[in-house]
Amino acid sequence: MSNVFLGRQPILDSELNMFAFELLFRSGDWNSAQISDDFTATATVISHAFNEFGIEAALGPYRGFINVNESLLMSDMIEFLPREKVVLEILETVKVTKPLVERCRMLKSAGFTLALDDVVEAAEAFAPLLDLVEIVKIDILEVERSRLAALVSSMRKGRIRLLAEKVDSMEQFDHCKSLGFELFQGYYFARPQIIKGKRLSHSELTLMNLLGLVMSDAEEAKIEAALKENPTLSINLLRLTNSVACGARCKITSLRSAITVLGRRQMQRWIQILLYSGGQADENFPSPLLQLAATRGKIMEILSSKKDREFQDNAFMTGIMSLMDTLLGMPLQEILSSLPVSREVEDALLGGKGELGRLLSLVETLEKGCGDDLFACIAEHGGLSLNDLNAAQMEALQWTNDMSKSHD
């Protein structure tokens, strides 16, 4: 497990109200970054914002500006992002070609908002994009004051909104406002804030196997089974699905529902983003805690086999999440607050309440060995015998051992 970092700088309107955040690549607590690969940097930003932190924690009610280079802009990975929550900020290094202009036109038609980054002159090369972008960011530190008004005039096409970036003083703000700028960003208002969190580690091998299943159009049950091999990956999928499908009326609380809602193409893009951002595990799968969490989840699922599918899914989720506070070094309440778990799962994990709470208590008691406490727990579950419990434990252990071997 390792720390993850995300830079976030406010973008304000002319009345100094919050309009959006620009999300920035950061590799540590310091407020700068060495970027050698724009594609990897942006993939990392997307992965952190949508997986580790969750989009609500990263952006709240505001939109996020995300830098995109030519490769990412042309890649269909970008299409999995929620178009109502992001602004695609086209880097100044992008070479404007006919295919790129057509791609931008398609993204705009699909509902994405496009912005042009770091404009310092009315370059003819970028003219085809001015009919497509809604926001033009002008780097006022790189434009002579005497040329700024003319540049502003040349950029005013249609419904384009101008954003003054690198505003360092009240005088600069007032001057830009008088020229017609509507949006503002810079150290005068706020330096980028570093958001720090814990990475939910991913097994690179699991990601590759999962990607192969998705790309080969494997059965949904096989994809679900592969996800269940990695509890933290399962949690990230739920977080992502609820971020991307934020318009859904109901929370997505099971892996099967997440796979259905997200869809095969969306899952493929998500897995690719994780791989491009260097989603390698910092601990090999058979870590004792991960094995125990997976075994708990499987036992609870097996013991719930006579219940409906939703209860079985909740039973598995309760089991794998019961050790997340230890795995991540975070309070369980804090982990649950950022995840779309059902009320039944939350009550079971935080207070041992309900049928899931009693089932979790039974499995925890089983781990400690036989005794009066175990028989008392069994008695609370009508129709369940010690033989049933032992059989479920053996099946779950075999399942976990099979997974461990597949990761050797």
Is the pLDDT at 304 greater than 80? The verdict is yes
Q: Are residues 181 and 245 in the same domain?
A: no
Output the pLDDT for position 280. 41
Q: Are residues 15 and 112 in the same domain?
A: yes
Residue with tokens 């499995």: 363
Q: Are residues 250 and 353 in the same domain?
A: no
3-state secondary structure of 349: helix
Burial 318-354 (b: 16+ CB within 10 A, else e): bbbbbbbbebbeeebeebbebbbbbebbbbbbeeeeb
Report the DSSP beta bridge partners of residue 312. none
Q: Are residues 193 and 204 in the same domain?
A: no
Cα three-residue angle 156-187-81, rounded to 5 degrees = 65
Q: Are residues 342 and 393 in the same domain?
A: yes
The model's pLDDT over 81-130, given as tens digits with 9 standing for 90+, comes to: 888 889 999 998 899 999 999 999 999 999 999 999 988 888 788 888 98
Q: Are residues 373 and 275 in the same domain?
A: no
Q: Are residues 360 and 403 in the same domain?
A: yes
**Taking residues 53-58, what's their average pLDDT?**
65
Q: Are residues 261 and 191 in the same domain?
A: no
Q: Are residues 114 and 53 in the same domain?
A: yes
Is the pLDDT at 25 greater than 80? The verdict is no
Is the pLDDT at 275 greater than 70? The verdict is no
pLDDT tier for residue 1 given thresholds of 50, 70 and 90: very low
211-218's contacts with Cβ under 8 Å and 24+ in sequence apart are 211/268, 211/271, 211/272, 211/275, 214/264, 214/267, 214/268, 214/271, 215/268, 217/264
The model's pLDDT over 334-384, given as tens digits with 9 standing for 90+, comes to: 777 766 678 999 999 999 999 999 999 988 888 776 567 777 887 777 778
Which of 7 and 164 is assigned the larger pLDDT? 164
Which of 94 and 36 is assigned the larger pLDDT? 94
Where among 197, 226, 257 does a domain terminate?
197
Is the pLDDT at 162 greater than 80? The verdict is yes
3-state secondary structure of 136: strand
Q: Are residues 68 and 113 in the same domain?
A: yes
Cα three-residue angle 25-28-31, rounded to 5 degrees = 70
The total domain count for the chain is: 3
Closest CA to 393 of 401, 403, 404: 401
Please give the residue range of the domain that contains residue 298. Answer: 286-408
Is the pLDDT at 35 greater than 50? The verdict is no
**Taking residues 37-60, what's their average pLDDT?**
67
CA distance to 141, 326, 405, per residue, from 330 (Å): 42, 7, 29
Distance CA 336, CA 354 (A): 17
Output the pLDDT for position 105. 95
Q: Are residues 376 and 241 in the same domain?
A: no
Is the pLDDT at 178 greater than 90? The verdict is yes
Six-digit token pair at 14?
Answer: 């002319």
Where among 282, 314, 348 does a domain terminate?
282
Is the pLDDT at 183 greater than 50? The verdict is yes
pLDDT tier for residue 207 given thresholds of 50, 70 and 90: confident
Measured between alpha carbons, how far apart are the two ends of the chain, in Å?
20
Output the pLDDT for position 350. 94
Structural contact between residues 360 and 300, judged by C-beta atoms closer than 8 angstroms:
yes
Q: What is the mean pLDDT of the chain?
A: 79
**Taking residues 282-307, what's their average pLDDT?**
74
Distance CA 86, CA 45 (A): 12
Structural contact between residues 200 and 51, judged by C-beta atoms closer than 8 angstroms:
yes
Where among 251, 282, 313 does a domain terminate?
282
Q: Are residues 69 and 19 in the same domain?
A: yes
Is the pLDDT at 333 greater than 50? The verdict is yes
**Taking residues 296-313, what's their average pLDDT?**
88
